[in-house]
Amino acid sequence: MWPTRDDILAARGLIRTHIRRTPCMDLRLPSGRTIALKLELLQHTGSFKPRGAFTTVLSQEHPPSALVAASGGNHGMAVAYVGQRLGIPASIFVPETAPATKVARLHAYGARVHQVGNTFAEALTASREEAGRPGTLAIHAYDAMGTVTGQGTIGVEIEEQTSPDTVLVAVGGGGLIGGVASWFRDGARIVGVEPQTCNALNAALAASGPVQVNPTGVAADSLGASMLGEIAWEALQAASIRSVLVGDDDIAAARELLWRETRLVAEPGGATALAALLSGAYEPAYRERVTVIVCGSNCDPSDLPLE
């Protein structure tokens, strides 16, 4: 089961006053092609994740007394932000490898932060005891209906803003692409873009179902799911999703282009979808209208060029 368009429209109404309708802008690539960027890195907390977190909390029949989430960083920040906005305590479990910038933001949002293990999967396991306490709501980073439905609201905005033929989406566990594909199931083509070393979707397509992978590389903190979510898998099968892979150097080049041309700082995961166009991993047709979701900005910008 995956979200319907009616589910996504209902979520949009539910969270409308809590999120930003992020803008789109044109970007001329070195090839001369002009594409549209959906700037979801300008969302609250610096990523698209609050959409799913607000949807999950606000759709509960009874308000929870506490929130718990495991995260590589961005989802945790979203849950902490939701807790802060709604007055609900939040406990966030992240790997010990989570970037210091993301851990600092978690504390700034008032969350209790637990750093456990080296991967998202280990943090998720560690969170389960606290998630079982009465009145506590555990919010999964990608494999839960509220999460996927909320992320699908990005698709509504993209359709209104750019009327694309194709949408390029970075993929970790599949919450974002699952939601966007659910909205565009009979519309725009959806292309999933992953780092070569964080390839849960690509591996699932090759194996005809989600399988374990070992995520590493520059975008592992945001795209480092060990397995594609079941909801995303069902949605993506229905939408006949294409998957392409990019290298860490391609991602670095995409981050630098975004900085030079727009003065926007994207984290590696946030620039991954754009990397598919720069590297040639995805080559659009002549008149194809392409929208790229730039999905996150939580990083240390000191490695970007000054000029």
206 and 115 in one domain?
A: no
Q: Provide the domain count of the chain.
A: 2
Please check whether residue 262 lies inside any domain of the structure. yes
Q: Which domain holds residue 126?
A: 50-138
Looking at 138, 158, 192, the residue that finishes a domain is 138
Question: Which residue is listed with tokens 């070569």?
Answer: 196
Q: Are 274 and 292 in contact (CB under 8 A)?
A: yes
The CATH number covering residue 72 comes to 3.40.50.1100
- 153 Cβ contact list (under 8 Å, min separation 6): 8, 11, 12, 15, 19, 51, 55, 179
> Does a structural domain hold residue 32?
yes
Q: Average per-residue pLDDT in the chain?
A: 94
Report d(CA 27, CA 37) in Å as an integer. 7
Quick one: 64 and 176 in the same domain?
A: no
In a domain? residue 232: yes
Among residues 109, 138, 167, the one where a domain terminates is 138
Domain for residue 184, yes or no?
A: yes
Same structural domain, 120 and 213: no
Domain co-membership, 155 together with 186? yes
Same domain, 38 and 103: no
The rounded distance, in Å, linking the Cα atoms of 37 and 290 is 9
Among all chains, which residue has been given the structure tokens 């860490």?
A: 248
Domain annotation covers residue 143 = no
My answer on whether 97 and 218 are in the same domain is no
Decide if 95 is inside a domain.
yes
Residue 200 CA: distances (Å) to CA of 174, 205, 212, 257, 293: 9, 9, 7, 26, 19
30 shares its domain with 12:
yes
How many whole angstroms separate alpha carbon 169 and alpha carbon 152? Answer: 12
Q: Shortest CA distance to 49 belongs to which of 209, 217, 168, 222?
A: 222
Are residues 283 and 178 both part of a single domain? yes
Predicted pLDDT at 135: 93
User: Is residue 111 a contact partner of residue 92, using CB atoms and an 8 Å limit?
Assistant: yes
DSSP string, 226-245: SS--HHHHHHHHHHT-EEEE
CA distance 271 to 232: 21
| Domain contains 31 | yes
Separation between Cα atoms, residue 124 and residue 121, nearest integer Å: 5
138, 166, 194 — which closes off a domain?
138
In a shared domain, residues 185 and 228? yes
Closest CA to 221 of 299, 126, 107: 299
Residue-wise pLDDT for 38-88, tens only, equals 999 999 999 999 999 999 999 999 999 999 998 877 999 999 999 999 999
Q: Are residues 234 and 252 in the same domain?
A: yes
Share of the chain above pLDDT 90, in %: 79
The C-alpha atoms of residue 103 and residue 77 are separated, in whole angstroms, by 9
Residue 35 CA to residue 17 CA, distance in Å, equals 29
- pLDDT tens digits for range 21-51: 999 999 999 999 999 999 999 999 999 999 9
Out of 12-26, 90-104, 131-145, pick the least confident.
90-104
| Residue 132 confidence class, pLDDT cut points 50, 70, 90 | confident
Residues 40, 174 share a domain: yes
- Same domain for 178 and 289, yes or no, is yes
